[in-house]
Amino acid sequence: MRVALGATAALFVVSGYFDFLKSPDDAWLGPSQRIFYVHMGAAFVVALAFTVACAASTLYLATRQLRFDRWACASAEVGMVFTSMLLTTGILWGKVVWGVWWTWDPRLTATLILWVLFWGYLLLRDGIRFREQRARVSAVLALVCYLDVPLDYMTIRWWKSIHPIVITAQGINMAPTMIGAMCLTSAAMVALYLSWVTVRVRLMGTEDILDDVKNGLRDGVRCQFWGDGS
Amino acid sequence: MLAKQLFSIAANSGNATRGDAQVQAIRRWVVLTAHEWTLQWRHKDSGLAVLAVALLEIAAFDLSMNRIPRLLAQTGPGILWMGFLFSGTLTVTRAYAHETAEDVMTGLYLAALGQTTQLVAKLTVNFMWLLGSVWLTTWLWVRLFMAPTRFSWAVMDLILSLGVLGLVSVGLLMARVGLLLEGADPFLTVWLMVLDLPVTVAAMGATWALMHGGDVWPWVRGLAVFDLIFLTSTLIFSDYLREV
Amino acid sequence: MMDSALLECQNLSCDMGSRPLWQGVWLSLEPGGLMKVVGPNGAGKSTLLKVLVGLRGFRCGRLMRFGERVSVAAKPDSRVGYLGHASFLYASLTLEENLRLYGRLWGVPHLSRRINAVVEQMGLQWSRYERIQSFSQGMMQRAGLARLELQRPRLWLMDEPFSGLDDQGRNMLRRMIDDARRRGDAVLITAPTFSDDIGDVGQTTVLDRGQLRKRNEG
């Protein structure tokens, strides 16, 4: 675990060097373009995190092993942080490039809806007391959310194709150093995501075991563990 | 009356074919649909809620904005579907409320009643009630605010049916989830409205296109696809939500 | 003898959450048999019944019903009747409507005649067309028993069936259990105390501190 965290930190230092010092200013957008590296990395992790959450939920429903539920929840939690990052950097960059804070572009709107839906997922999860029941319900909720987001994207795109599109994004030609910086930042972000989720999963396993111990002590029953939390 | 007729059909088919699994399932669906109809008829809440919200909308918009010409005709689809979304979501998430008291769900489960049969029966009856009140509301709105507009009511019926089907199918899945939540149901309702966004937007788009001469069919096709996705996932996932 | 048992548990164990609720439960019920499980509140009597009827899974052991092994995720069986703490009846429907619904789901033949007989047997003639929500606790218990009698299962699992019943109701329930045993059904009931409300009991067992024992051993 320490090695993983160390490697993540090292990746961040190197990618920071590339993002802010090594790569040139964009000819057209100037230094504001540098936010793109963070933005792109976050977007990559968001896609990864919610796909992992969805896959883990499916695996939970298929196998009924609680560790998949922990993976789903941890991945969604960390994914939420990266979605917030994605939205924030997107808003800041949009102001500089497009001149507006927000536009109801399909991708922006779908991301916002993704953010709201998975907040709901995490909140509703909290409302269920029993572990197995919580795992079952949240697996279903996660899958429904995951299905819903592409539908939103499609709907808004149709909507926009009927209404005139006011703002279009310009294509960006990238220098090789820029591509390098982008890849490095994405790798750093993915490493951060992976270590964070691993820590969170282990923490949740410990929480479950602690709950078992407390329940056992409260009822004066000899403690026995047959959870798969380790 | 309809319930009585359905009951008698169910009773007759029951005597003729015992053991045939498929016929058995259909018979149970008919029994349960008739039963759900009786329940709805006794309470009338799901239909009345939609009508109440609709009257509220009509009154409020008529009082405040009727002086601006054609405004209500233009914004009609949006206003109507937002109303349907709110009242429909509120009522459909309560679809299992009658089963919570006295633990009826357990009793029905022990009567070897599959989740799917019950879900399909609830789907049928909630769909009928919601569609009825949604249709009445739309008709009233068109009559009051868009008198000169001409469009095909057959297409309108199709759009309303597809929209209501989408709302009801996800709504019922979340109503099942609501049974398992302790005290988070109000939030669940709001969350469900976000989940229903694709269906609502597509239905709005279709209604707008129909009323104002746009191309309806891409929207209707989209709506049908959404319904299919939501209906399938509801049928698949509800099996995992059985309380044991 | 073992093969003809309607219900048999071998070394059955069940957890509540992740801690054991009871362990190593052995019991067997033959046709016409009656068993009473007594235990303090929270001992897991209701959970035992839920496991037997298939509403809950168990952790390990063997559960046999009608000579067939039942898996951990049991399917409901219409030959098993269960009376829980709730009546399983719709509050806003009348007794008649409720019985009719269940009767149709079970496929009870000659339903109207059977409902007449059951309602009369339970002494609920005057409440037949009343909504369940207007029933008192004792009437509710009778209504729940009416539902069970309409089902006429082979294996009767009743959770504290005597609670809330008046003397007349207790007599009626005793007669109901006797009739069931005479037909060759097996009956298992739970009770919080050793009161002899049921008369001739085949076996009385005690469920306490996670173990099921014969009465005299405990």
Residues of B in contact with A136 (CB under 8 A): 240-241
CA distance B204 to B214: 12
Cβ C17–A216 below 8 Å, yes or no? no
CB atoms within 10 A of CB C175: 11
Which domain does B129 fall in, by range?
2-243
The residues near C27 (Cβ < 8 Å, ≥ 6 apart) are C7, C8, C9, C35, C205, C212
C128: phi then psi, degrees, rounded to nearest 5:
-60, -40
Residues of A in contact with C17 (CB under 8 A): 130-131, 212, 215
Q: Give domain status of residue A209, yes or no.
A: no
B62 vs A167, more confident: B62
Q: Is the pLDDT of residue B16 over 70?
A: no
Residue whose C-alpha is closest to residue C200's, from C170, C174, C162, C182: C174
Give strand pairing partners of C81: C156
- Tokens 């015992």 correspond to what residue? B18
Instruction: Categorize the per-residue pLDDT at A5 as very low, low, confident or very high, splitting at 50, 70 and 90.
Output: confident
* Overall number of domains in chain A: 1
Cβ C19–A227 below 8 Å, yes or no? no
Nearest residue in chain C measured CA to CA from A216: C19
Output the average pLDDT for chain A: 79
Q: Is the pLDDT of residue B163 over 90?
A: yes
Instruction: Categorize the per-residue pLDDT at B228 as very low, low, confident or very high, splitting at 50, 70 and 90.
Output: very high
Residues of C in contact with B14 (CB under 8 A): 104, 107
Looking at residue A227, what is its pLDDT?
38
| Amino acid at position C171, single letter | N
Looking at residue C83, what is its pLDDT?
92
CATH of residue A114's domain is 1.20.120
CB pairs A-C closer than 8 Å: 22
Q: Give domain status of residue A176, yes or no.
A: yes
When mean pLDDT is compared over B74-78, B129-133, B147-151, the highest value belongs to B129-133
* Side-chain half-sphere CA neighbours of B89 within 13 A: 22
The pLDDT tens digits along chain C (218 residues) read 445 788 888 888 888 766 778 888 888 888 888 888 888 877 788 888 888 888 888 888 888 888 888 877 667 788 899 998 888 999 989 999 999 999 998 888 899 999 999 999 988 888 889 999 899 888 999 999 999 999 989 999 999 888 888 888 888 998 999 999 899 899 998 888 777 666 666 677 777 777 777 765 43
* Overall number of domains in chain B: 1
Residue of B181, B198, B218 lying closest to A128 (CB–CB): B181
Q: Give domain status of residue A14, yes or no.
A: yes
- Chain C 164-193, residues with CB within 8 Å of chain B CB atoms: none
Q: Using H for helix, E for strand and C for coil, what is the string for B58-117?
A: HHHHHHHHCCCCCHHHHHHHHHHHHHHHHHHHHHHCCCCHHHHHHHHHHHHHHCCCCHHH
Looking at residue A27, what is its pLDDT?
61
Residue whose C-alpha is closest to residue B138's, from B109, B158, B123: B158
For residue C209, give how far its alpha carbon lies from the nearest alpha carbon of chain A (Å): 9
State the DSSP H helix or E strand holding residue C25, giving kind and residue range, or none if neither: strand C19-29
Q: Give domain status of residue A227, yes or no.
A: no
Q: Give domain status of residue A229, yes or no.
A: no
For residue A92, give how far its alpha carbon lies from the nearest alpha carbon of chain B (Å): 25
- Return the structure tokens found at B152: 């095909």
Predicted ipTM beyond 0.95:
no
Q: Enumerate chain C positions whose Cβ falls within 8 A of a Cβ in A.
A: 15, 17-20, 210
- Return the structure tokens found at B183: 């005290």
Residues of C in contact with A213 (CB under 8 A): none
First and final CA of chain C: distance in angstroms? 26
In tens, the pLDDT along A105-164 reads 777 888 888 899 999 899 888 888 788 888 988 999 999 988 888 887 777 777 666 544
Instruction: Categorize the per-residue pLDDT at B184 as very low, low, confident or very high, splitting at 50, 70 and 90.
Output: low
For residue B5, give how far its alpha carbon lies from the nearest alpha carbon of chain C (Å): 15
CA distance C156 to A144: 41
Give strand pairing partners of C157: C82, C188
Q: Give domain status of residue A12, yes or no.
A: yes
Looking at residue B17, what is its pLDDT?
44
Q: Is the pLDDT of residue A6 over 90?
A: no
Residue of B181, B183, B198 lying closest to A152 (CB–CB): B198
- Tokens 């105390």 correspond to what residue? C193
Output the average pLDDT for chain B: 83
- Return the structure tokens found at C76: 């409901």
Looking at residue A225, what is its pLDDT?
39
In tens, the pLDDT along A181-195 reads 778 888 888 888 999
Nearest residue in chain A measured CA to CA from C21: A221
Cβ B195–A154 below 8 Å, yes or no? no
Looking at residue B158, what is its pLDDT?
93
- Return the structure tokens found at A128: 């269920």
Alpha-helix residue ranges (DSSP H) falling in chain B: 2-16, 21-43, 45-65, 71-92, 97-100, 104-110, 115-145, 153-180, 185-195, 197-212, 217-237
Residue of B183, B222, B243 lying closest to A127 (CB–CB): B183
- Asked if residues C49 and C159 have their Cβ atoms less than 8 Å apart, the reply is yes
Residue whose C-alpha is closest to residue C161's, from C182, C184, C180, C133: C180
Most A CBs within 10 A among C15, C16, C18, hence the mutation to make, goes to C18
Q: Is the pLDDT of residue B19 over 70?
A: no
pTM of the model: 0.82
Looking at residue B159, what is its pLDDT?
93
Instruction: Categorize the per-residue pLDDT at B79 as very low, low, confident or very high, splitting at 50, 70 and 90.
Output: confident
C24: phi then psi, degrees, rounded to nearest 5:
55, 50
CA distance C153 to C108: 11
Does B198 contact A at CB distance below 8 Å? yes
Q: Is the pLDDT of residue B12 over 60?
A: no
Which domain does A73 fall in, by range?
2-204
For residue B183, give how far its alpha carbon lies from the nearest alpha carbon of chain A (Å): 7
For residue B114, give how far its alpha carbon lies from the nearest alpha carbon of chain C (Å): 10
In tens, the pLDDT along C133-153 reads 899 888 999 999 999 999 989
In tens, the pLDDT along A30-65 reads 666 777 778 888 888 888 999 999 999 999 988 888
For A25-91, the DSSP string reads PBTTTBGGGGHHHHHHHHHHHHHHHHHHHHHHHHHHHHH--HHHHHHHHHHHHHHHHHHHHHHHHHH
- Return the structure tokens found at C66: 């009608």
